Chain A
């Protein structure tokens, strides 16, 4: 069955520092992978997605992620973090063949705190 692991529950970085959020997935075929961001009390917003092709994908707000099949990973990166990036970040995988397209499996999330 599909699953997503985000090993870091909480990460703290200083403003201007680089950021990497980890995501590992379990999926039987070529995965479709997503990163979402959620500000407090808000819905989830899509940052970027991967379904095939170039393993380095660019997203909104200066984020990028790299798909590494050999490591079953899809880590999110940003070279210089801004205070407004403080939020919760969710990695997701799916859909499974036979499931409704859009039926995603989410990780537990990583809470990002940014120090000024």
Chain B
């Protein structure tokens, strides 16, 4: 039990489908993150939310649409994806008031395959 739960764990979708990834944290954190991890590539930070406000978008294509309705939940809405978007999508959270405890806590990830 990591405190950060991602659903689904696996997802196969066609390029014309619309799906959503969900992340929930039970740690009382105020910041949440989406990362993309592709084979043979570095970990890529996609979005950062702090107190529900987006503070960072790292030039992510618009076919990825994040939503953060509250500090405990984070979604990634997917539409018209490409095969190269197949990857492990990781959600993380962190607290934002104590610099001694700035580590991020990660979920187990969603393995996305676009066909």
Chain A residues close to B by CB (< 8 Å): 32, 34, 36, 41-46, 49, 51-52, 90, 94-95, 100-104, 106-109
A sample of 12 more A-B contacts (CB under 8 A), given A100-B55, A102-B31, A103-B56, is A36-B106, A42-B109, A43-B4, A45-B2, A52-B100, A100-B94, A101-B31, A101-B94, A102-B92, A102-B104, A103-B31, A107-B42
Give the residues from 17 to 70 in chain B that come closer than 8 angstroms, CB to CB, to chain A: 29, 31, 33, 42-43, 45, 48, 50, 55-56
16 cross-chain CB contacts under 8 A: A36-B106, A41-B109, A41-B111, A44-B106, A90-B43, A100-B55, A100-B56, A100-B94, A101-B98, A102-B94, A102-B103, A102-B104, A103-B31, A103-B33, A104-B102, A109-B43
Contact A108 B107 (CB under 8 A): no
Contact B111 A46 (CB under 8 A): no
C-alpha spacing A43/B55, complex, angstroms: 23
> Which range holds the interface residue count of chain B?
20 to 34
Residue among A42, A44, A102 with max Cβ neighbours from chain B (10 Å): A102
Residue among A45, A49, A95, A101 with max Cβ neighbours from chain B (10 Å): A101
